[in-house]
Amino acid sequence: MFVVKYSGPFGFIKPWTAVRDSETFSQQFLTPSIIEGIEKKLFPELLKEKGIHKIKRHRLRYKQMAAQQEQIQPRGWNKKKNHYERPYAILTRSVMIEPELLVAFDNSDDANEASKQHICLCRNEDIVYPDENIL
């Protein structure tokens, strides 16, 4: 196996819930669809194929979790007297600090190609960069 390590010095917000809970925790794994999306970004020639073909294993780890607060507004409006208003709420999210993603490939050519590119963990602000060395 040839392993490329991706990392970043920031928080990785991954709420993984459609419900606006008062507390939302980062998920500590990546779903198959996210891994497939990462693979398609690294190897655009696979865009027309379904499934995961080149990434054989992965592991997501981090230094710690940190709680962050976010101000939100619910959908819709409330009519009060002669105007419309939307109430505010505070949502607490836990984020991963200094995430590392290890991605394993069967051959060195795929690992070399992947080690020359950054990847996004679902959103554009969650960019992680490859280390120079392939393990």
Domain ranges across the chain: 2-130
Helix (H) or strand (E) holding 11: strand 11-12
Structure token pair of residue 114: 């992947």
Q: Does domain 2-130 have CATH number 1.10.3470?
A: no
pLDDT at site 9 = 72
Q: What is the pTM of this model?
A: 0.74
For residue 59, which amino acid is it? Answer: R
Please enumerate in sequence order all residues whose Cβ is within 8 A of that of 75, keeping only pairs 6 or more positions apart, or say none: none
pLDDT at site 70 = 77
Q: Are 91 and 69 in contact (CB under 8 A)?
A: yes
pLDDT at site 18 = 44
pLDDT at site 44 = 94
Per-residue pLDDT of the chain (135 residues; tens, 9 = 90+): 999 999 887 666 554 444 555 555 556 677 888 899 899 999 999 999 999 999 999 998 888 878 778 787 777 777 777 888 878 878 777 777 888 899 999 999 999 999 999 987 665 567 888 998 999
